[in-house]
Copies of this chain bind each other. A is one copy, B any other.
């Protein structure tokens, strides 16, 4: 019998669950609304129990903040999330105990990065970042061949970038930092600034030039800090046709030929890319995380 793996993309509005071995072999999937921890985690456990016989491990990519350090006493917990009822939830532990199999947990962005590394746009790289631009802005990735953790985990959406209130008087939407990258360029920031959600803004709206500029300022800072071999940008806002090309242009203009790498100077279309796995990066990455825990 083929060994199967479970994956969970644990988001603030839904848990996507799957059982399989990769992009071309998903045997079952479920979509569970995120309500209370008991209800949601209970439904996820019930889904995996149907496949318990062949299941070797489960991987979870979760919203956070969370504790991704296997050596910590709160490993696998969602920690300080403002989401009602979910703070201090032992997500990985509850599922592991119920199914009696190994469960690994990491941030949603790190897990999506792992998916892209296994099957998508980051294959063969050892240092790259994966950004997601949607309700929030998050970032993760690998450095030196391993997922980024450090003290806790990156919070790339909260970098500070130049913001000129004369040309953009919107003060920013972040409750902690006002006009950090997430506060200026997430979907809610776009909606609050312009009065319409991103998907309702026409292609020629000035929102898009500003959005590309802010995202490029963030990307340039990540390039200068980490020197990634590739920058993958996903999330709902990036579905806008042409936005990624505008980001590339702004990144090159901002770097101004300072980083003299052919990958950036001549290959920017491959250097800054959308995820190959698209909206499946997170769920497939969770399967990859489960596989990695066994290997």
Give residues in A with beta carbon < 8 Å to B.
65, 79-80, 127, 139, 143-146, 148-163, 176-177, 179, 217, 220-222, 224-229, 254, 256-261, 263-264
Contacts and interface: CB of A to CB of B under 8 A. Distances in A.
Given A148-B143, A221-B221, A177 B261 contact: no
B152 A127 contact: no
Given A144-B146, A160-B220, A162-B163, A151 B225 contact: no
A154 B223 CA distance: 7
Contact of A261 (B151, B179, B221): B151
Q: Which of A80, A150, A156 has the most CB of B within 10 A?
A: A150
A156 B221 CA distance: 8
B158 A224 contact: yes
Contact of A221 (B65, B153, B159, B263): B159
A225 B176 contact: no
B226 A150 contact: yes
Contacts of A162: 160-163, 179
Contacts of A224: 154-159
Q: Which 5 A-B pairs have the closest CB atoms?
A: A150-B227, A127-B150, A143-B143, A144-B146, A159-B221
A104 to B, nearest CB: 17
Given A160-B161, A160-B221, 6 more contacts: A143-B144, A144-B145, A144-B149, A150-B229, A155-B224, A177-B258
Nearest to A165: B164
A228 to B, nearest CB: 5
Nearest to A142: B144
Contact of A139 (B155, B163, B220, B225): B225
16 contacts: A79-B260, A80-B260, A144-B148, A149-B227, A152-B260, A153-B227, A154-B224, A160-B254, A162-B163, A162-B179, A176-B257, A176-B258, A177-B256, A221-B221, A221-B225, A226-B226
A125 to B, nearest CB: 9
Nearest to A153: B227
